[in-house]
Structure 1
């Protein structure tokens, strides 16, 4: 059945709020610090990696509709330990991404108290999620229109007035691949449409065949336009030092009156992206518990509390640039495993050729290993610690279960008391 334009547009609008977040509002600054103007061609490499990974998750979601996202796909295709590594990478990436989104919110909306604003956003969004709030199609369309309209104003303002001569330029073409990896977090929200949660209506393959390229392509165009605008207005040196690039670009372009609109868009985008980040992490934790890698008695409220605490700790411990780097690195490792498992799908389960999964695997590894060394080391250490902790928990639960079984088998069976012969 041929999808209608309405179905395609609705699906794209559903995914956009999960994409237009910390990357477009704050990610351009550390990217410019690494590569300057080379961040613009780097975005094309990032978009290609995201496109391949989106194809892989969409195919696997169709093949395994009732499992916990990438963790479940890898467990079904590659085995237990690769799945545990996948879950660890995903949870580390989600925690760091939560810190990046919250820090972006604090820098734009509460510039006088950015850390307090970031912590408030994490807690408030977690409470909304626990209360059952969901971004429906209608809400997603409104969020998308608000954010896109404000970004269009930023781009128009940045090109409407000649910039002040920059004090210098930063970056080098040799950092292009590293910047492509850093900006991967800007596209990682595509799972909002490629891997819907339980209870959500899956999107038909015919719709996704158009919606995925449109979502990634539209996001690429938005990032390219905004990046070119703020780079023109601020220059790479000033942009690299800016905690809130879009706000500073408007001030430099003599459009300070539009700053409140940017704050509104940053607030709306922050809530939307953080909601998706926490929901996807919650799904992975639920999958781990269901498969016995975590205690099975953990209730949804406890999992939400764990995620909130992890987000708060990440905000306190990691500045924005570090959080973006760790989020990108861990998420790329996650998609390396996801693409690897997509390679072994049966032909009947595929909508896209196996080559896209192979390319996605190669790009994910290449981009992750090209990120700044501190982010790479933190991600690898956290990945190892998380995998070990999951494995230890599973082993302890298995040992405890085996011990209880042995005790039951060894306990003497109670024999019924002898009958007293009746009197004749």
Structure 2
């Protein structure tokens, strides 16, 4: 199938608002505390892992266009219990990511009351989605231009004036892989184009073959530029303590007048990224309901309330832990989806099957290398979520069986 440059540009524009969220505005602080300047090469590892996972989800999305994302792919390819683990990892990762995006919004836009700002953004974005608002190509282009324009100003300001001598540097090369796992969540919005929601037109393999590397490559360039700028201006020790690195970098570079622009960009990026995260989690819950793993009487509105409630609960976590859990749980999710893509019998792949093998190995490696608190919370959440889904499904099965046998007993 042929494609046009316009199709590729539109596809990339659709994906950018889902990628440029909490990672670029807040992710560099915990990363710098662990690895310092080694955060920059770690980003390349994160991007490569995301690239492999993106191709895997793109292939499976075209093979199973009507199922609930990774949960549905794994259920079709690997079975029920791996699918339940996939759903648990995805829901935990999405709730933690929603919390991280909301906390980022609070730190930048409502610094005096960040938690209240975070909760307000969650509610407002959920209501926006319930009202039927969707990020069309035109809206996505506008959001991308606003965010990229402000990020360019931050980078230019950070390099335009000599930084104040730092009070020391933090981080070592030993944390390179761990930070690569932590920063993976910065690229995880690629599913906006690789696994479109029901009713959206899927992208062809020929378009995705180019659009996926362009999206992740462009995102990597942006992250490298912003990361280098804030590390230069603040130093890794000061950056590690910053709740709003881009704002503090501007203040340090004597560009405080630009802070309102960063707040606007943070608000716009927060709404865009959170909208995608909430819809993504809602789709997984919908898949669980449709396949009988959750009660079928649950309505879409109730499912969204569950997502928002879980995300609101996650805002009680510190930002660094929320980002870590988001990254770790999402990596476990992609470990399952890559494993599923490995056994997918499909001739028209976006890229060869070995990318799924690489994605599987990298997802497991990076997940197990994330900071220990995030790893422990993710493993506990994965186990609890899988057990709960299995228990609900078992109880529903027993009830259905008892209803079938009751008339015979009479």
Q: TM-score range by the shorter chain?
A: over 0.9
Do the aligned partners of 2:208 and 2:350 also contact (CA within 8 Å) in 1?
no
Which whole-Å deviations, capped at 9, do the CAs of 1:194-239 have from their partners, x for residues lacking one? 0000000101111111100000000000000000000000000000
Aligned to 2:85: 85
Question: Which residue of 2 is the match for residue 371 of structure 1?
Answer: 370
Cα pair 1:62 1:349 within 8 Å, conserved: no
TM-score, normalisation: structure 1: 0.96
Match of 2:130 in 1: 130
1:319 CA displacement? 1.0
Q: What is the distance in 2 between the residues matched to 1:16 and 1:135?
A: 11
Structure 1 residue 387 and structure 2 residue 386: aligned?
yes
1:245 equivalent in structure 2 = 245
Q: Distance in 2 between matches of 1:367 and 1:132?
A: 36
The corresponding residue for 1:352 is: 351
State the secondary structure of the residue aligned to 2:261. helix
1:65 aligned residue: 65
Q: SS state of the match for residue 58, structure 2?
A: helix
**Number of residue pairs matched by the alignment:** 410
Aligned to 2:309: 309
Aligned to 1:416: none
- Whether the aligned pair in 2 keeps the contact of 1:162 and 1:233 (CA below 8 Å) is yes
Cα distance in 2 for partners of 1:208, 1:408 equals 54
State the partner residue of 1:224: 224
Give unmatched runs, 5+ long, in structure 2. Answer: none
Cα deviation for residue 349 of structure 1 reads 4.7
Larger CA deviation: 35-44 vs 339-348: 339-348
The yes-or-no answer on 1:114 pairing with 2:117 is no
State the Cα distance separating 1:104 from its structure 2 match.
Answer: 0.2
User: What are the ranges of 5 or more consecutive residues in structure 1 without an aligned counterpart?
Assistant: 412-424
Give the equivalent residue in structure 1 for 2:269.
Answer: 269
Q: Which residue number in structure 2 is paired with residue 5 of structure 1? A: 5
1:76-113 Cα deviation digits (max 9, x unpaired): 00000000000000000001001100000000000011
> 2:287 aligns to what?
287
Q: Secondary structure of the residue that 2:405 maps to in structure 1? A: helix
Q: Which residue of 1 aligns with 2:44?
A: 44
- Corresponding residue SS for 2:315: helix
Equivalence for 1:328 = 327
Q: Which residue of 1 aligns with 2:407?
A: 408
* CA–CA distance in structure 1, aligned partners of residues 189 and 408 of structure 2: 50
Q: Is the 8 A contact 1:77 1:341 kept in 2?
A: yes
Larger Rg: 1
User: 1:12: how far off?
Assistant: 0.2
CA positional deviation for 1:162 = 0.5
For 1:87-166, list aligned pairs within 5 A. Answer: 87-166=87-166
Tell me how far apart the structure 1 counterparts of residues 222 and 372 of structure 2 sit (CA, whole Å).
Answer: 29
- DSSP 3-state at the match of 2:27: helix
**What does residue 14 of structure 2 align with?**
14
Q: Distance in 2 between matches of 1:403 and 1:65?
A: 35
Q: Indicate the SS of the match to 2:164.
A: coil
RMSD (Å) for aligned C-alpha atoms: 0.6
Q: Distance in 1 between matches of 2:212 and 2:82?
A: 27
1 CA distance for matches of 2:91 and 2:368? Answer: 19
Which residue of structure 2 lines up, in the alignment, with residue 23 of structure 1?
23
Provide the rounded CA distance (Å) in 2 between the counterparts of 1:12 and 1:351: 16
Aligned mates of 2:120, 2:26 — CA distance in 1 = 19
Structure 1 residue 410 displacement after superposition? 2.3
**Structure-1 residue corresponding to 2:318:** 319
